[in-house]
Chain A
Amino acid sequence: MTAKAGAVYDLGYEPFDGERRGRSGARIAVWTDGLRRMLGIRRKARRKILPWILVGLAVIPPIVAVGVAFLIPASIAEEIDLASQNAEFFQLAGTMTMLFTALSAPELLIPDRRDGVLSMLSSRPLTADDYLTARFASLLTIVASFLLLPQVVLFVGQAGSDSDGLFRGIVNAADSLPKIAIVAALYALAFVPLGFLVAAFSERKAIASSIYLAVMIGLAAIADAIVRNATFAGAKWVALTSPLDIADAANAEIFGKSNAGSLMAVADISPYVGVVSLLVIAVVATAVSAVRYRRVM
């Protein structure tokens, strides 16, 4: 007798009586999908290349700095003060973050509109505000990680190289943690809402990325030209339209670095006034994006 090679069973349809998490579950699903989408996880290989190159570029310099501090003789290592490098690495990571936002904000919003996925989502327990909030949170999560990852490497390096031992080193280095959190939040505020605004109104990802970079760099260039050269009254306040300069100035101020020669210093405007301007720009950009999505979803 020959054994049966196999059998096909029609399993039919099983009803589902388990837990339904409703709106909060839907928001978490959109947030998680946003993280995967930005990093190219479970997408084709070519979609992973750019984001991971940028992650590498943001993380490798602090790893090198920490490695050097560990490897070279102690007498020379004392010259390299890891604790004083937070501001520099924030500035470096800031540039990478801007490029990452240019790449990721369009990726988060445009395919869902282009491929009609919003029509599926609009039948789910999810409002337009829920969708946008979840996508915003995805970008914020990645951007914050982007900004904080080099700082974590520095923190570990700083604590590990403390002459009083690792535990004491952690306690000593912990002083900088609130500053790190505040500066990361400010850079995120400078990059994310405008990236969202551009992506909310663009139809093509490449165009959205280009527009975003043009806006960020253009605002900085225009503000720089006007503040340094214009003679009309109130020209200095144009500095408040450049999120990049405001974040850099606040970064230097919080970590006690020299700000001389920067746009905000030339304009003679306190970085804290700049932070208020940053908040206003973020609120307006987010509100306009929300109005747009209430119409399309």
Chain B
Amino acid sequence: MAVSALATTALGHAYGDIAALHSLDIDVPSGRTGLVGANGAGKSTLIKILLGILTPTTGTARVLGMDSQRDTIAIRSVVGYMPEGPCLPLDQTAADFLVYAAGTAGLPRQAARQRASDMLTLVGLNEERFRYIGDFSTGMKQRAKLAQAIVHAPDLVFLDEPTAGLDPSGREDMLDLITRLGSFGIDVVVSSHVLRDIERTCDYVVMLDRGTLLHEGRIGASADQDLVRIELIDGAQAVTNALVMAGAEVSADGNRLSVRYEKGDVFDLVRSTAATTGASLLSLTANGSSLEDLFLDHGSRS
């Protein structure tokens, strides 16, 4: 049986009286996983527990099959972390810092130098390797942060808000790099509140809301097959009535309707209802392809 990349059981953490995580149960497979949620949802707290930086108040967490509290040092030897905040010494060159970062992960000096050079090339900082990090732009600093997270060839890497502060072009580059990491055989956990970034880079998602699990599953499979959104030119009221009569849940916003139908194919129902009422359809959109819809839908239900 394949070992999960991450698994938690009844995991909880509180900062004094403020609970950050409530009895979290997740089981994340290998691959690229998005950890999504609004600010304060508990994403960073979860990552810090998994790295053994924080001690959980309740429950257990396992990383690559190892206990986050008991096997902290072993986990940290094979895991990388790109923190959300600054983590770079401003008075060192990128090359020297990466050699140091590799050394702190236990790599011998010669290997550390080779890896540092390779990673700077990989993240596109090869030309800048002898510049002091203090002179770097925000985008270059983000790349250097990513490079330090993977310089020791980890099996799993945590990226906490990797696109924070980047301009659109820098953001695209960073997302491309993250997508490439998966193809290198590194499991990736990307924490972000930007759902489109997760949608683009990940194949699995864990949604958190105020410290509780909202949803967990494959991103393709997370599409809600029973929900569609339609926009009508006219006849919204008649269509709504007909759909409700047929057993569908309908929420209306003027001529825009969200239709959920679990007893059969929702597309067939909408098509036949439009035909029988004579209403004119302007658009019919499958729901659930967007994580944003899923997040909002789960949020409204909870």
Contact = CB atoms under 8 A, between A and B. Distances in A.
16 contacts: A16-B107, A18-B108, A18-B111, A19-B111, A24-B106, A29-B103, A111-B90, A116-B83, A116-B88, A117-B87, A117-B89, A119-B83, A120-B81, A120-B83, A123-B79, A123-B83
B160 to A, nearest CB: 9
A126 B76 contact: yes
A261 interface: no
Across the A-B interface, give the 3 residue pairs with the lowest CB-CB distance, nearest first. A29-B103, A123-B81, A16-B153
Nearest to B87: A120
Contacts of A28: 103
B90 A115 contact: yes
Give the dominant DSSP class at A's interface: loop
B132 A44 contact: yes
B79 A21 contact: no
Given A15-B153, A25-B105, A29-B112, 17 more contacts: A12-B184, A13-B118, A13-B180, A18-B107, A21-B107, A25-B107, A25-B108, A26-B104, A29-B103, A47-B91, A115-B89, A120-B87, A120-B148, A122-B53, A124-B76, A124-B105, A125-B106
A11 interface: yes
Interface of B: 51, 53, 73-74, 76-77, 79-81, 83, 85-93, 96, 100-101, 103-108, 111-112, 115, 118, 121-122, 132, 148, 152-153, 158, 180, 184-185
A173 interface: no
A22 B107 CA distance: 8
Given A20-B106, A42-B96, A125 B80 contact: no
B87 A19 contact: no
A16 B153 CA distance: 6
A120 B73 contact: no
Nearest to B152: A16
Residue with the greatest number of chain A CB neighbours at <10 A, chosen from B53, B91, B111:
B91
- Give the interface size class of chain A: 35 or more
Contacts, number: 114
Interface of A: 11-16, 18-26, 28-30, 32-33, 42-44, 47, 111-112, 115-117, 119-127
Given A16-B115, A42-B96, A123-B53, A111 B91 contact: yes
Contact of A119 (B74, B85, B111): B85
Given A115-B86, A119-B83, A120-B101, A23 B106 contact: yes
A44 B89 CA distance: 13
Contacts of B77: 20, 22, 125
Contact of A23 (B73, B81, B88, B103): B73
Contacts of B152: 16, 20
Contact of B118 (A14, A117, A121): A14
